[in-house]
């Protein structure tokens, strides 16, 4: 037979009450911190239990786009440019490197070769040396000289404003063409880069790996008028929150809509430390960002 418990008195009672109070506070904080995470987990479990219909996926995709529009009202191309030719050159140079590195390199490029005619006449070795910081500099210099010559000879020295014409230029594929069309000519286009492809598959908008098939399937989900800004928003999100190796799930505003929630860090405090650029209080990638960009400009040439 167990001995009856003796009620605690004096200091012992006060200590017990203090411990209980602290436990209650911790429990409350934990509950509040995990509220969003629990909602995201519940939605994920529900979707796993019942396969999502195509219509439900389209509605979820469009809601994510609306949420991203509120999160990134300032989304924009992260390459510095002043005209279609500069954007075309910068986009070609951006392959296999960061937009920041391109933006730190292009001032010297355009100072030396401001027009297609100038670049078409460039000495290859001299152009190669200028674009060397972007990597693959020989291949890129060859493409830049070739596309500049084609613009000079076939399009009267002006960058063409049609997809079918742009993709005939050396080094220019659909991704590059859509970047130029959407941002220099106002022609809607979907830019399927590594960030865009990763996120739309992570969100179960498509299972396609081929960029052209991804472009076609995503284009069928959204109105054409949304294509360019959708591309910017998704790419912004991929660079700032939904990283490839370790997404900041616990700091993601669209976590309740994400079927991949939990692939990354779910603890809110730890997740916030993973945020990049203006979301993490760091400089952006453009030396000359748009006026509505809330972050800091990138460091100029010679900066890190």
Query: Which positions are catalytic?
Result: 175, 193
Q: Are 205 and 59 in contact (CB under 8 A)?
A: no
SS3 state of residue 296 = strand
What is the C-alpha separation between 304 and 302, in angstroms, rounded?
7
Tell me the two tokens of residue 283. Answer: 């400089």
Q: Look at residues 254, 245, 253, 250 and name the one whose alpha carbon lies nearest to residue 272.
A: 250
CA proximity to 269, closest of 33, 83, 81, 92: 33
**Angle separating helix axes 194-202 and 211-221, nearest 10 degrees:** 60
- The H helix count followed by the E strand count for the chain is 13, 0
Q: Residue 74 class from Cβ within 10 Å (0-12 exposed, 13-18 middle, 19+ buried)?
A: middle
From residue 21, alpha-carbon distances to 13, 28, 227 in Å are 12, 11, 53
């Amino acid at each position: 037979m167990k001995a009856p418990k003796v009620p605690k008195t004096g200091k012992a009672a006060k200590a017990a009450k203090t411990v209980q109070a602290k436990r209650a506070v911790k429990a409350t904080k934990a509950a509040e911190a995990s509220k969003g995470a629990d909602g995201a987990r519940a939605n994920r479990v529900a979707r796993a239990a019942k396969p999502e219909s195509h219509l439900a996926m389209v509605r979820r995709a469009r809601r994510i786009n609306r949420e991203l529009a509120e999160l990134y009202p300032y989304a924009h191309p992260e390459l510095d440019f002043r005209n279609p030719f500069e954007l075309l050159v910068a986009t070609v140079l951006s392959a296999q490197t960061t937009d920041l590195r391109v933006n730190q390199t292009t001032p010297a490029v355009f100072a030396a070769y401001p027009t297609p005619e100038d670049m078409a006449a460039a000495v290859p070795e001299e152009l190669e040396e200028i674009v060397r910081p972007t990597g693959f500099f020989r291949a890129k210099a060859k493409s830049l000289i070739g596309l500049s010559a084609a613009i000079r000879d076939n399009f009267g020295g002006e960058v063409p404003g049609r997809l079918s014409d742009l993709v005939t230029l050396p080094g220019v594929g659909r991704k590059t063409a859509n970047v130029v069309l959407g941002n220099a000519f106002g022609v809607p286009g979907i830019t399927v880069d590594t960030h865009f492809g990763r996120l739309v598959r992570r969100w179960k908008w498509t299972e396609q790996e081929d960029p052209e098939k991804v472009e076609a399937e995503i284009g069928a989900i959204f109105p054409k008028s949304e294509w360019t800004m959708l591309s910017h928003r998704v790419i912004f999100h991929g660079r700032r929150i939904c990283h490839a190796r370790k997404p900041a799930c616990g700091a993601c505003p669209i976590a309740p809509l994400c079927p991949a929630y939990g692939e990354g860090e779910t603890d809110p405090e730890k997740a916030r430390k993973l945020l990049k650029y203006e979301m993490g209080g760091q400089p952006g990638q453009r030396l000359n960002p748009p006026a509505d960009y809330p972050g800091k400009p990138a460091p100029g040439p010679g900066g890190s």
